[in-house]
Amino acid sequence: MDGFTKADLRALAGPRSFERGLGYLDAVTALEVEDGSITATVHGTDTYEVELSLDGAEGLTGECDCPYGMEGNFCKHLVALGLTALAGSESLPRQRTRARRRAQDLDAWLATLSRDELLALVREQVTEDRQVRRRLELRAASARGDLAEVRARMRELLDIGRFARYGYVEYADARAYGEQAAQAVSAVAALTATGRAADAISLSREAMRLLSEVQETIDDSDGHLGQVGTALAEVHLDACRAAPPDPDETARWLVGHVLGDLDDLTDIDALDYEDVLGERGMATVRQLALEAWRGNRTGWAEKYLMERLAKAANDVDAVIAVHAADLAPDGSTHLVIAHELDTAGRPDDALSWAERGITEASDTSTLAIGLVDYLCDRYTHSDQLPDAVALRRARFSAHRTLAAYRQLRAAAQAADCWQAERGEALAVLRADTAQRERGWYSGPVLIDALLDDKDIDAAWQAATATGAHDQQWLTLADQARAIRPADALSVYRRLAEPLEKQTGNAVYERLTSLLLSMRDCHHRLGTTDDFTAYLAALRAGQKRKRNLMRLLDQRGL
């Protein structure tokens, strides 16, 4: 993006942080516009380093090391930085163009320097900047093939010691640690570039192990360590391609890696190594994966590896065998198998597996709703409507919720048998009401169902006889207002009464909504004078609540 606007800053920060950012415009110092970012120091309770990124995948983003910013929020300091940049004498695109020109000018100047001049410049930077010196020392060790030195410096860079507090790297320090660890990855990658790919394979594996040992002690909420792990996996694969190692040994390492804790960090896929392993190595991978799965058919990693290999070979039966060896009691695994068979163009086998999920379920009350939905959809499309109704009826019997009632109604209406099914379903809900089974808002599901059926008279009778939650009464009054305005009015007045004793804008909104409904009831009853008197009395009693008075004025009350 070439730039951004005040509206962009407000949208990212929200109204509160945006307004607070206005008070920090004078606190922004050392502002610097680069091609893809804007940085500055903002002085507040402390001194904070702030950066706006302009060209990321998500558009405008920002980072600030204040407590609120470190939680991932777009804070007031970022707002102040953005507004200060926008208020500059030049437009932001022009400032970015100048930043590009400065970088080009610097490159051009460096190109004019002699070897001795460049060396003097580098030595000057090495003397003044310890981090630059450490990076270059590591690059030098990589270039000369000093494996012992590279390994020693790599271990230093991966050590969490200087970042950890009480043995744990907090969120605020995770990024810095990730940047340091990335230097180690670069050094290992440099080995491949200088013809030492075999050493890069060895060191990248060691680095993966070292990172895995500390990953649980790092707050990696922003994924910095994950990025390092991914980069390390790429370095390992590139090194293996540059100097193909023994396929059997590599296959054993890969399977052990994927089945172990290291895979959480690097997410290595054995199939990415097909060109490195060849037929012989991949055969070893498949054999080791099969042995591991047979030894632990319920292990997530073992199942995932077997499934990946089977899918790569287009062997749907092998995929099914993996899932079939560890069937969930709620039928959800049967559903996974059914989807796999559908994808393979075997709908009859898919239906058979889905039906097995129903019959083999250990407890129908915990049956996966996705499996029921799948079967009902299949039955509906194949004109097996009574079977769909039976499934929805069983589901409703186990889970007497409004959602289950609606699904039963839809299936029975399609099968033209809703009247009979409805009578039985309502009888079940009436029995639940007698036993004080509750649904939405802790009110009887019976009333929810009758309201959903738009059977207002029956719902009103049930609510009167058994009691209902206030929200159910409100819904009932809203639906009945046109035909039973007096009854609806009594509900609205009862619900409004306790709100008159409360404060808060949300309370005022609810009270105003009730008053509008009451006014409509009085209009239908021809008693508008009564409402006028009621409203005048309410206003007199609530006059100190200025926000309520303002809201009533806005709504014409």
The string of pLDDT tens digits covering residues 75-106 is 999 999 999 888 875 666 777 777 778 778 88
Q: Which of 468, 496, 530 is the last residue of a domain?
A: 468
Place of tokens 């309520």: 548
Residue 425: per-residue pLDDT: 95
78 in Cβ contact with 19 (< 8 Å): no
Phi, psi (5° rounding) for residue 51?
-140, 130
The reply to whether 37 and 101 lie within a common domain is yes
Number of domains the chain is built from: 3
Phi-psi region of 338 (alpha: psi -120 to 50; beta: other; left: phi over 0): alpha
Which residues, other chains included, contact 160 with Cβ-Cβ below 8 Å and sequence gap of 6+? 169, 177, 214, 217, 218
Q: How many CB atoms lie within 10 A of CB 512?
A: 18
What average pLDDT does the segment 372-389 reach?
Answer: 94
Separation of alpha carbons 393 and 376, rounded Å: 11
Q: Are residues 447 and 487 in the same domain?
A: no
Residues 488 and 429 in one domain: no
* Whether pLDDT at 544 is above 50: yes
| Alpha helices by DSSP H, 113-168 | 115-128, 130-143, 147-158
Query: Is residue 220 one of the residues assigned to a domain?
Result: no
pLDDT (0 to 100) of residue 119: 86
pLDDT at 90: 65
The pLDDT tens digits for 472-528 are 999 999 999 999 999 999 999 999 999 998 988 899 999 999 999 999 999 999 999
Helix, strand, coil % over all residues of the chain, rounded to 5: 75, 5, 20
Beta bridge partners of 40: 50
Residue 439 pLDDT exceeds 50: no
Q: What is the DSSP letter of 504?
A: S
- 15 and 97 together in one domain: yes
Angle (CA) 162-168-171 rounded to 5° is 90
Residue type, 8: D
Tokens of 7: 């509206």
Out of 444, 468, 492, a domain closes at 468
Indicate whether 21 belongs to any domain: yes
Same domain, 86 and 22: yes
Shared domain check, 387 and 454: yes
Q: State the DSSP H helix or E strand holding residue 230, giving kind and residue range, or none if neither.
A: helix 224-242
Model pTM above 0.85: no
Domain boundary among 443, 468, 493: 468
Per-residue model confidence as pLDDT tens digits over 339-363: 999 999 999 999 999 999 999 887 7
Q: What angle do CA 156, 157, 159 make, to 5 degrees?
A: 65
Integer Cα distance of 350 and 116 in angstroms: 74
> Is residue 263 scored above 80 in pLDDT?
no
Please report which confidence band the pLDDT of residue 262 belongs to, taking 50, 70 and 90 as the band edges.
low
Q: Give yes or no for residue 133 having a pLDDT over 90.
A: no
Measured between alpha carbons, how far is 192 from 201 in angstroms, rounded to an integer?
9
Longest CA–CA separation in the chain, Å = 100
Higher-confidence position of 517 and 438: 517
Q: Above 80 in pLDDT, residue 167?
A: yes
**106 shares its domain with 10:** yes
Answer yes or no: is pLDDT of 378 > 70.
Answer: yes
Do 415 and 462 reside in the same domain of the chain? yes
Domain span holding position 95 = 6-110
411/505 same-domain check: no
In a domain? residue 394: yes
Whether 298 maps to a domain, the answer reads no
pLDDT attached to residue 223? 81
Cβ-based neighbours of 415, under 8 Å, separated by 6 or more = 385, 386, 388, 389
- pLDDT recorded at residue 440: 46
- Residues forming a β-bridge with 43: 47
Average pLDDT value for residue range 167-180: 85
Is there a single domain that holds both residue 494 and residue 402? no
Residue 96 within any structural domain of the chain: yes
**Using the 8-state DSSP alphabet, how is residue 71 labeled?**
T
For residue 261, what pLDDT band results from cuts at 50, 70 and 90?
Answer: low
419: confidence class by pLDDT, cuts 50, 70, 90: very high
For residues 477 and 486, the answer to whether their CB atoms sit within 8 Å is: no
451 and 525 in a single domain? The answer is no
Question: What pLDDT score was predicted for residue 107?
Answer: 84
Residues 6+ apart with CB under 8 A from 300: none
Nearest C-alpha neighbor of 454 from the set 428, 480, 422: 480
Residue 197 lies in a domain: no
pLDDT at residue 406, rounded to an integer: 95
81 within some domain: yes
Distance separating alpha carbons of residues 528 and 520, to the nearest angstrom? 9
Give me the pLDDT at residue 402, please: 92
Does a structural domain hold residue 511? yes
Residue tagged 């033209």 (tokens): 416
215-229, 295-309, 399-413: the lowest-pLDDT one: 215-229
Burial of 405 (0-12, 13-18, 19+ CB in 10 A): buried
The end-to-end CA distance of the chain, in Å, is 49
- How far does CA 474 lie from the centroid of its chain? 35
Alpha-carbon distances of 307 from 18, 103, 178, 314, 549, rounded to whole Å? 50, 50, 33, 10, 65
Q: Are residues 14 and 106 in the same domain?
A: yes
* Lowest pLDDT segment from 56-70, 349-363, 380-394: 56-70
